[in-house]
Amino acid sequence: MVGDPLPRQSRHFRTLGGGSARPGRANQRICLRGAEYSYGLCEKHRNRKVGRCWERDGIQDIVAKIDGRVYCDQVLDEADFVSGTQTTSGVRELFGDPGTLAPYQFRLAQDLCAECRDYHAIWPYRRLSRTVSGIEATADIVEALLREATQPNGRILIAGAGDAGMLALTVQATKNLTPFIDVADRCQTPLAVCRRYAETHGLTITTLHLDFGSSTLAQRYDVVFGDCILQFVPRQFHVEVLRRLAQAMTKRSTLVLVERLRASAGSESRRGDRAAETLSGLAAQGIELPEDEPAFLLRLNRMLNAQRTRIADYSVPCDLSSCLAEAGFHLRDLSDPDRQRTAPLPDGESVTMKIAVASPVRD
Contact 215, 244 (CB under 8 A): yes
Specify the pLDDT at position 318: 57
Contact 297, 279 (CB under 8 A): yes
| Residue 34, CB-side half-sphere exposure with 13 Å CA sphere | 4
Predicted pLDDT at 344: 77
Q: State pTM to two decimals.
A: 0.75
CA–CA dist 124, 126 (Å, integer) = 5
- Residue 94: what pLDDT? 92
Which long-range contacts (C-beta less than 8 Å, at least 24 apart) are formed by 106-113? 106/290, 106/291, 107/290, 108/188, 108/189, 108/192, 108/193, 109/189, 112/187, 112/188, 112/189, 112/192, 113/187, 113/188, 113/189
Measured in degrees and rounded to the nearest 5, phi and psi for residue 142 equal -65, -40
Closest Cα to residue 295, out of 275, 314, 280, 277? Answer: 275
SS3 of 252-275: the string is EEEEEEEEEEEECCHHHHCHHHHH
CA atoms within 13 A on the CB side of 353: 25
Contacts of 226 by beta carbon, 8 Å cutoff, 6+ apart: 158, 159, 160, 245, 255, 256, 257, 258
pLDDT along the chain (363 residues), means of 10: 31 31 33 37 34 36 42 35 34 86 98 96 95 89 96 97 97 96 97 97 96 88 96 89 95 94 56 82 94 96 85 63 94 87 76 93 75
pLDDT for 177: 96
pLDDT value for 178: 96
Domain 98-360 has CATH 3.40.50.150: yes
C-alpha separations of 76 from 5, 18, 60, 291, 345 in Å: 18, 17, 12, 37, 16
Query: Pairing mode, if any, of strands 221-227 and 155-159?
Result: parallel
Q: Where are the domains of the chain?
A: 13-80, 98-360
E strands, the chain, are 13-14, 20-21, 28-32, 35-41, 48-56, 59-66, 69-72, 155-159, 180-185, 205-209, 221-227, 249-263, 329-331, 340-344, 350-360
Three-state SS for 98-161 is: HHHHHHHHHHHHHHHCCCCHHHHHHHHHHHHHCCCCCHHHHHHHHHHHHHHHCCCCCEEEEECC
User: What pLDDT sits at residue 4?
Assistant: 33
pLDDT for 312: 61
